[in-house]
Amino acid sequence: MQYVKPEVVAEDLAFLQYTGGTTGVAKGAMLTHRNMLANLEQVKATYGPLLHPGKELVVTALPLYHIFALTMNCLLFIELGGQNLLITNPRDIPGLVKELAKYPFTAMTGVNTLFNALLNNKEFQQLDFSSLHLSAGGGMPVQNVVAERWVKLTGQYLLEGYGLTECARW
């Protein structure tokens, strides 16, 4: 049997992206190629002016199976020719800070609890944030006190994203 390459169109299913399960059991959201391309364009329009193609190093301390990290850390930074510093265990705050100290990271995404834990770590408070120009929180609301402490320490606003997996928008 000869292989026939299928024609892929924008309305075709790209993948099932599972929700965070905040309303019960996680559900597989059917996302099309068009969903993901539209989502990528929205994120580029929002954050593109802050970023420099080919020169970015984003800290990826979130699981890529969540729509926030998939869109921001994976799709956006690949599109821009950026690099990802993958943190496999972000709950190990001392280990995370040790990795951050090695690299001049330019962007960081996370959830409120991660940013709060970092702010309460003395070694994190000593890092050089001069290359950081994008900080974004998602997956849960960013608390005002955390956002205020973040800008005071890093000099960068902690921007907050919001969305639903089902909409492929954060």
What is the per-residue pLDDT across 25-55, written as a single tens digit (0 to 9) for each?
Answer: 888 889 999 999 999 999 999 999 999 999 9
Q: Does the predicted TM-score (pTM) go above 0.75?
A: yes
Domain boundary assignment for the chain: 13-167
Placement of tokens 């960013």 in the chain: 142
Question: 18 is written with which tokens?
Answer: 């599972």
pLDDT in tens, 50-82: 999 999 999 999 988 888 889 999 999 999 999
Q: Which of 76, 16, 15 is nearest to 40 (CA)?
A: 76
Q: How far apart are CA 6 and CA 142, in angstroms?
A: 43
The secondary structure of 128-160 as a DSSP string is: --TT--EEEE-SSPPPHHHHHHHHHHHSS-EEE
Residues paired with residue 29 on neighbouring β-strands, in sequence order: 17
Q: How far apart are CA 7 and CA 19, in angstroms?
A: 28
Q: Would you state the CATH architecture of domain 13-167?
A: 3-Layer(aba) Sandwich (3.40)
Length of the chain as a residue count: 170
Angle at 159 between CA 154 and CA 163, to 5 degrees: 150
In this prediction, residue 21 carries a pLDDT of: 67
Q: With contact defined as beta carbons under 8 Å apart, do 137 and 112 qualify?
A: yes
Q: How far apart are CA 59 and CA 42, in angstroms?
A: 21
